Amino acid sequence: MLDTPLVASICASIMRNRLLEHFSCFLLLVSVIHVVLAANYDPPDKIFLNCGANGETSDDDDGREWTSDMNSKFAISVGNSLASDAATQKPSVPTTPYMSARIFQSDFTYSFPVSSGRKFVRLYFYPADYDNHTAKHGVFSLHIGPYTLLKNFSAFETANNLNYDFFSKEYSVNTESGALNVTFTPDPNTPDSYAFINGIEIVSHPDIYSSSGTSMLVGASTSFDIGNTTVLENVYRLNVGGQAISAKGDTGLFRRWADDTAYIYGSAIGIPVAADQNITISYPSGFPDYVAPVEVYKTARAMLPNPQTNLGFNLSWYFDVDTGFSYLVRLHFCEIAPDKTKPNQRVFEIFINNQSAEAAADVILWASASKVPVYKDYVVYLSNETPRQDLWLALHPNTYMKPNDYNAILNGVEIFKVNTSGGNLAGSLPNPIPMQPVIDPSRVLPRNSGKSDNKGGIIGGAIAGALAGIVFVGLIACFIARKGNRRKNQNSNDRTSNWLPLSLYGSSDTSDTTGKTYGSYATSIPSNLGRHFTFAEIQAATDNFDEARLVGVGGFGKVYRGEIDGGRTKVAIKRGNPLSDQVGEIAVKCVADEGIHRPSMGDVLWNLEFALQLQESAGEGEGSVDMENEEMPLNGKSKELDENVTEDSTSITGQSLASADSDGLTASAVFSQIINPNGR
Task: Give one DSSP letter per residue of 240-261, joined into a string.
Answer: TTS--B-GGGSSSS---BEESG
Give which of 419, 399, 408, 427 is closest to 305, Cα–Cα: 408
For residue 139, what are the contacts with CB-CB under 8 A and spacing of at least 6? 152, 153, 154, 186, 187, 190, 193
Q: Under a CB-based contact definition with an 8 Å cutoff, are residues 99 and 85 in contact?
A: yes
Torsions phi, psi for 360 (to 5 deg): -145, 80
**Whole-Å CA distances, 558 to 243, 258, 318, 572, 636:** 32, 31, 18, 10, 12
What does the radius of gyration of the chain's CA atoms come to, in whole angstroms? 29
Q: How far apart, in whole angstroms, are the C-alpha atoms of residue 96 and residue 630?
A: 58
**Neighbour tally for 496: CB within 10 Å:** 9
Q: How far apart, in whole angstroms, are the C-alpha atoms of residue 412 and residue 256?
A: 12
Half-sphere exposure of 660 (CA within 13 A, CB side): 26
Q: Is the dihedral of CA 424, 428, 429, 430 positive or negative?
A: negative
What's at 343, amino acid-wise? P
Q: How far apart, in whole angstroms, are the C-alpha atoms of residue 203 and residue 121?
A: 7
Q: How far apart, in whole angstroms, are the C-alpha atoms of residue 659 and residue 651?
A: 14
3-state secondary structure of 604: helix
**Neighbour tally for 135: CB within 10 Å:** 19
Q: How far apart, in whole angstroms, are the C-alpha atoms of residue 174 and residue 178?
A: 10
**Whole-Å CA distances, 274 to 271, 294, 301, 335, 410:** 10, 12, 9, 11, 12
> CA torsion 7→8→9→15, rounded to 10°?
110
Strands (E), 176-322: 179-186, 195-197, 199-204, 211-217, 223-226, 232-239, 258-259, 271-274, 282-284, 299-302, 315-322
> Would you call 451 exposed, middle or buried from its count of C-beta atoms within 10 A (0-12, 13-18, 19+)?
exposed
What's at 323, amino acid-wise? T
CA angle, residues 646, 678, 534, in degrees to nearest 5 = 30
Task: Establish whether 574 is an annotated binding residue.
Answer: yes
> Would you call 456 exposed, middle or buried from its count of C-beta atoms within 10 A (0-12, 13-18, 19+)?
exposed
Q: Is the dihedral of CA 216, 217, 218, 222 positive or negative?
A: negative
**Whole-Å CA distances, 614 to 277, 480, 539, 625:** 48, 11, 18, 11
> CA torsion 170→173→178→179, rounded to 10°?
-50
Q: Under a CB-based contact definition with an 8 Å cutoff, are residues 74 and 179 in contact?
A: no
**Neighbour tally for 183: CB within 10 Å:** 18
For residue 73, what are the contacts with CB-CB under 8 A and spacing of at least 6? none
Annotated binding site for ATP: 574
Annotated binding site: 574
